Amino acid sequence: MDLQKILQDIDAHYDEMVDIRRYLHQHPELSFQETETSKYISNFYKELDIPHQTGVGGNGILATLEGGKPGKTVALRADFDALPIQDEKDVPYKSTVPNVMHACGHDGHTASLLCLAKALKAHQENIPGTIIFLHQHAEENPPGGATQMVEAGALEGVDAVFGTHLWSNTPVGTIETAPEAFFAGADAFEITIQGQGGHGAQPHQTKDSIVIGSELVTSLQQIVSRKLDPLKSAVVTVGTFEAGTTFNVIADTATLKGTVRTFSPDVQELVIREMEKHIKGVCTTHDASYQFNYMKGYPPVVNHPEEAAMVIEGASNTPGVERAHYVEPVMTGEDFSYYILERPGAFFFTGAQKEGHVYPHHHPKFDIDERALPIAAKTLFQSYVVYQQNHQ
């Protein structure tokens, strides 16, 4: 296998990567609704004459490239769903779909993986093992597409799995991963407080759900600061607080929604127990009732140390990568976790920060530096190469 020639061929597809990414950016689809995106991916593989399955666990796609030399089977994953956000960028490739945009880089993930497949197709006879190009739907919306694809058999026969996320927080040329815990588990909760509404001028005749909810918001923050070992990590965030209809009416009910982020099951269970105690305590004090719904979401992304080291080794030998290193875990969530609960593997960031463009992921003006696209593709492939070398 002429590794340098393959890497050069991946770079040669840069313009096509940009074109694909921008087309997908203009035509985003929400989680579990990505029918046209799935067709686009399928048609791409049809033109390459690469066998593939559609409808895997929903809108997922698996394409299989069997190399001409013996080796292991490795899956490389990219997601392709968008978010319910209005695109506010002033660019030619702005989303054409109202209130839907690729605000997290999934269009770039897809473009990188498709063009990697195209580059490798030309070298198929000289590639060891088998590559599964795993195109996943619905990463943004629990229960997520990963668990559905796993249940549908996406990892059958797979020895290892690698994935990347274009990351606007780090410069182009940077590859980041973690030897173990990388992304937090991402849960959601909803609390409904049932008070007793009434006239704004007669609060003594009411049970003010807004006052109760406000006290609860503050109380919940004490779970992390006063109940959790300072050497462990968790986040409890109330993201929405809905109550009331007008200025002179005390609200009958209030609804709080939020998220919890943890890295271990024991911390997760502690947070759930403490939330229940705080909610019950505050509502009981005010003689109000409540409903507490806690939804466990994606598990933490915990890399396998050997495969994480392979990412660093592969990236260190990849043209365009200036720095490959380990970083501290992040509190965001990712359903890539389901794959590496089943198989060895690792997830990594590919730096995609656009100079002078400071908008974060999930922002209406989110964008990436497209020079990161071939770096993502090459690093995925290099991780595959190192894995094959280590398992000869």
Q: CB under 8 Å to 385, separation ≥6 — which residues?
A: 1, 3, 314
- Structure token digits, residue 302: 């915990």
Selecting among 29, 79, 87, 139, the annotated active-site residue is 139
Strand partners, 162: 76, 346
Selecting among 29, 34, 79, 81, the annotated active-site residue is 81
Whether residue 139 lies in the annotated active site: yes
Whether residue 328 lies in the annotated active site: no
Q: CB under 8 Å to 111, separation ≥6 — which residues?
A: 17, 18, 20, 21, 24, 373
The catalytic residues are: 81, 139
